[in-house]
Structure formats: structure tokens, C-alpha cells
Amino acid sequence: MFRPAVFALSQQQRRLLSDQTRQAITKAVASAPVVLFMKGTPETPQCGFSRASIQILGLQGVDPAKFAAFNVLEDQDLRQGIKEFSDWPTIPQLYVDKEFIGGCDIIVSMHQNGELAKLLDEKKVLATEADAGEKKE
């Protein structure tokens, strides 16, 4: 009996996402090929899951010019809205090429099994040696 009440609340929350917030999130998702909604900033993550996600993206070699991060702690509408937008209950949330990938647990799993490296390579969002200032062979 409790679960339908939770489902009903979830449906009600979906209707509460304003068009303005939905448009702002859509614009944010499209602002770069790799977008992370997180708590804090890449330089100063405010939770362990956001920190782990940023570290993994760094280990993968995501090109900073193709990456954008949005601090959900700065905007309560964004913090709640992104959960509804993606239908995912937690933050951080990763988007690649406007497609929702998942939260920290998914990012970690994909990193460990090689799927994230493959995806990022296919989407051409990794920094090249030329980007790093090194000579190409």
C-alpha cells in the first residue's frame, strides 16, 4: 500500500518540473559533449560520489574543452529538477553527447569494465596528445 503512494508522489513531482527549469536543464545538457551535474565543482567536490566521478573522468582523459560541470548546490530548482529530468534519484549525474549515462555507481562500473573508455573514445571527447602539448607521432 505504501509503494503506490510513493509512485503517486513521484508522478506529482514530475508535473512540478517547470518548463523554465526543464529548458535550462536541456540547455545545460547540450552545453558540452560531456556534462556532469554534481555537488560542488570539479576543483572542490562537495561529496565523495562527485569527487569519485570527477576523478574517473580525469583518469579517462576527458578533454577539459569538451566538459562542463554544474553545481547543483547553487540552485535548488536544478538540484531537484535534474533528478526528475533523468528519472534518476541521485547526484552526480553524467551525460555524454546529450545522453544520460548514470550516477556514480554506473560511472565506476563502466570505468572498471572498460565501457566508459570505449564510449568516451567513440564520442571523441578525450584529450589528444596534441591537446596536451605533446608531439604527435
Was domain 20-122 assigned CATH 3.40.50.11540? no
What residues does each domain of the chain span?
20-122
pTM (predicted TM-score): 0.84
pLDDT reported for residue 17? 83
Confidence category of residue 8, pLDDT binned at 50, 70, 90: very low
pLDDT in tens, 72-122: 999 999 999 999 999 999 999 999 999 999 999 999 999 999 999 999 999
Give 73-77's long-range contacts (Cβ < 8 A, gap of 24+): 73/39, 73/40, 73/46, 77/18, 77/21, 77/24
pLDDT reported for residue 131? 56
